Structure 1
Amino acid sequence: MSSRVCGRVLQRLQTAGSPPAASSGSWSCRLQAGPRCEPCRGLSVASRGTMNVFDRTMKRRQKNWAAALQESHQFDYLRDEVGSQVADRVYDIARTFPLALDIGGGKSHIAEHLSKEIVERLFLTDISETTLKQRRQSEIPTHCILADEEFLPFKENTFDLVMSSLSLHWINDLPGALKQIHQVLKPDGVFIGAMVGGETLYELRCSLQLAETEREGGFSPHVSPYTAVTDLGNLLGQAGFNLLTVDTDEVQVHYPGIIEVMTDLQGMGESNCAWNRRSLLHRDTILAAAAIYKEMYGNEDGSIPATFEILYMIGWKPHDSQAKPAKRGSANVSFGDLSKISQPTNTDKS
């Protein structure tokens, strides 16, 4: 497993200015613009024996609401960036894929960067029917299917390529989902995916925890739990993939303030949908969090950064044609003999 870390900065295309005055009611109104939250139910265990952390019904409603916004395209900057990175990894593989699957593809953020010479036919799935209706046009013949990422409605050994961009981090049973992806792939098929993970939104998480502890005497989780990059390789291996590649990419977006961060997360359909989430934040807590955010992480120009750690993964379904490691004990040279090998000396030819 290889690892690569790089970083980029995206500037949010939003007019920076002073935040609304404390007497204004626009702060609370903007935060309550999203879909109504259900009562907190806590963590539960599904019948199949896996942890049920996320409310998938709420996530569907969040994505439908976000896609129905009049200016929903202005919140697609992160998905566009990650989708182009996934497409670049597809181009790195020197072959043509007759049939591909994009899991949780939404508006087809990956396919718009691909050509018909690389992917001949594509199946696009998403949990949100409103998002699928806004699929972007591409030259690849595409079939849209309303399907949950946790239950893929496809037969075994169907696809030559499976892709996923920014949807797997809302899966309750990630090991099970990876096994399903492995199952629908043909032998020697490849899975290329990207998901949010690691220390994503640590600035927002810390600011809200400190503010809530100060104003309310305790805090609740307001940012979703994420998968660590150190666990991703093991999960792919347990699902049956080999020839693994895992790397991380840190994307930092600058915003005018904490309200804009929360508003954009809602517009992306990326609001927290964990069962143990709180349905609302008190106004005093939001004001305190905004001040803490700017004090701890603010830039000199008055903006604040929000960090997204993107985990990229590549895994292949085993096939006899793939390169395999030599059998244990087949080596004919000992590591101890390496010190006896003389290095060539430089001679002065002058």
Structure 2
Amino acid sequence: MSVVNLIAFNRKIPVKFIKFTRELQLLTNFKNIRCISTSTYTSQIRNDDIPVHIFDRNTKHLQRERAASATDVNLYDYLKDEIGYRLADRVFDIKRKFKLAADIGCSRGYVSKHITPDSVEELILCDSSKANLDSIKVKDGLKIRKQILDEENIHFEPNSLDLVVSSLNLHWVNDLPGAFKRILNSLKQDGVFLASVFGGDTLYELRSSLQLAEIERRGGLSPHISPFTEVRDIGSLLSRAGFTMLTIDTDEIVITYPSMFELMWDLKGMAESNAATNRVIHLHRGTQFAAAAIYQELYGKYDPETGKSTVPATFQIINMLGWKPHPKQPKPVERGTGEVSLKDLYKLNEIIREVKKVKTDDDQKN
């Protein structure tokens, strides 16, 4: 797992912090809290075939349109730009030229602007926002098609695509198992699916601060951060959909902000705020200030040289790769055919040398 610290230099608005009450100071023993989780939804998705309608897709569409038409939209691209670049780099790692590919939920082209004609011949750009599609620029020589598409209802001709990519988009889909199955159906045999989504540890600092503030101020709590998919769920969902040769890994990107309020403002500018969820999301002003104070106390850092305080925000990125089955793909050997026991792994170098020696002797005899 790689940890990259990115500084959002554009967020330098000074904020005055309120003083802590004794009750809030008692909460500092939660310094290492990472997950007061809202995993009910993900467990339901994992165990049931019936989709759970957590997100309002119409609200999400309006949210994206508003963010895309904002005059300062470029100000909020820093995180999605970074993840899009990393996902495009994974496409280049596959030594193959893809004839037809699709970028599902392409947004402002965070992945597609890095794709070259040497790796993809034709690319279908898909997004629910026309404003996003109109703003995309790609490299010269790359053939493109633009298509209005809701990720909840992915539809392509069966066995028509060689590659499907999606960057930071599928975590807003209610029926994730169904989306994976439709993507598999659209791929040709030995086709590739590459995607990145936010993972369960994303914004754990903000989540825990809001929940602790609500407990202190309101005597109870409600979820204000959208539920994210867990790493353990992605593998099982891809396998159930029918993908093979899975590769799943995670990255952690930590971005620092002057305070919790700049973080929440940037999430809104990224069209990643909680407004699209089917739940009451009102936060009382007193709870917000209490949460900001808790955030600063539990996770904040003070720089004595500049005299400024900052707070970190962690974004966990789950990267997934799956292949549509093909008869010529490598297959695992049958159980019981292994020649080396796991208990002998500590002397693996000796075993390899012995195997090479035996093969050399056999070659000399022949």
Q: TM-score category by the smaller chain? A: 0.7 to 0.9
The offset of 1:20, in angstroms, is 5.4
Q: Output the CA distance in 2 between the equivalents of 1:233 and 1:110.
A: 23
* 8 Å contact kept, 2:194–2:319: yes
**208-217 or 193-202: which moved more?**
208-217
Q: In 2 relative to 1, CA 337–107 (structure 1 residues): closer, same or farther, beyond 3 Å?
A: closer
- Percent identity between the two aligned chains: 45
Tell me the amino acid that sits aligned with residue 115 of structure 2.
L
Which residue of 326, 330, 343 corresponds with 1:323?
330
Tell me the amino acid that sits aligned with residue 79 of structure 2.
L
* 8 Å contact kept, 1:14–1:255: no
State the TM-score, normalized to the length of structure 2: 0.81
The offset of 1:177, in angstroms, is 0.4
Deviations 1:129-183 (A, max 9, x none): 2222221233322111111112122110010000000001011011110011101
- How many pairs were matched up? 317
Task: Look up the match of 2:230.
Answer: 228
Q: Output the CA distance in 1 between the equivalents of 2:2 and 2:152.
A: 30
Tell me the amino acid that sits aligned with residue 324 of structure 1.
K
Tell me the amino acid that sits aligned with residue 221 of structure 2.
F
Task: Look up the match of 2:35.
Answer: none
Following superposition of structure 1 onto structure 2, how do residues 153-172 of structure 1 map, counting pairs within 5 Å? 153-172=155-174
Q: Output the CA distance in 2 between the equivalents of 1:334 and 1:288.
A: 58
Query: Does residue 1:12 correspond to 2:13, yes or no?
Result: no
The offset of 1:51, in angstroms, is 1.0
State the TM-score, normalized to the length of structure 1: 0.85
Task: Look up the match of 1:132.
Answer: 133
**293-302 or 135-144: which moved more?**
135-144
Tell me the amino acid that sits aligned with residue 290 of structure 1.
A
Following superposition of structure 1 onto structure 2, how do residues 269-348 of structure 1 map, counting pairs within 5 Å? 269-272=271-274, 273-278=276-281, 280-301=282-303, 302-328=309-335, 331=337, 333=339, 335=341
The offset of 1:108, in angstroms, is 1.1
Task: Look up the match of 1:69.
Answer: 70
Tell me the amino acid that sits aligned with residue 289 of structure 1.
A
Following superposition of structure 1 onto structure 2, how do residues 107-186 of structure 1 map, counting pairs within 5 Å? 107-139=108-140, 140-186=142-188
Q: In 2 relative to 1, CA 224–334 (structure 1 residues): closer, same or farther, beyond 3 Å?
A: closer
Task: Look up the match of 1:25.
Answer: none
Name segments (4+ residues, structure 1) moved above 4 Å: 332-339, 341-345
**206-215 or 246-255: which moved more?**
206-215
Task: Look up the match of 1:40.
Answer: none
- Segments of 5+ residues of structure 2 without an aligned counterpart are 19-40, 304-308, 355-366
- Segments of 5+ residues of structure 1 without an aligned counterpart are 23-42, 346-350
Task: Look up the match of 2:358.
Answer: none
More helix by share: 2
Task: Look up the match of 2:24.
Answer: none
Secondary structure of 1:226's match? coil
Deviations 1:103-144 (A, max 9, x none): 001111111112101011000111222222221233322111
Q: In 2 relative to 1, CA 206–181 (structure 1 residues): closer, same or farther, beyond 3 Å?
A: same
Q: In 2 relative to 1, CA 253–332 (structure 1 residues): closer, same or farther, beyond 3 Å?
A: closer
Q: Output the CA distance in 2 between the equivalents of 1:61 and 1:119.
A: 31
Q: In 2 relative to 1, CA 66–321 (structure 1 residues): closer, same or farther, beyond 3 Å?
A: same
Root-mean-square deviation (CA, aligned residues, Å) is: 2.5
Task: Look up the match of 1:31.
Answer: none
Task: Look up the match of 2:364.
Answer: none
The offset of 1:337, in angstroms, is 12
Q: Output the CA distance in 1 between the equivalents of 2:287 and 2:200.
A: 25
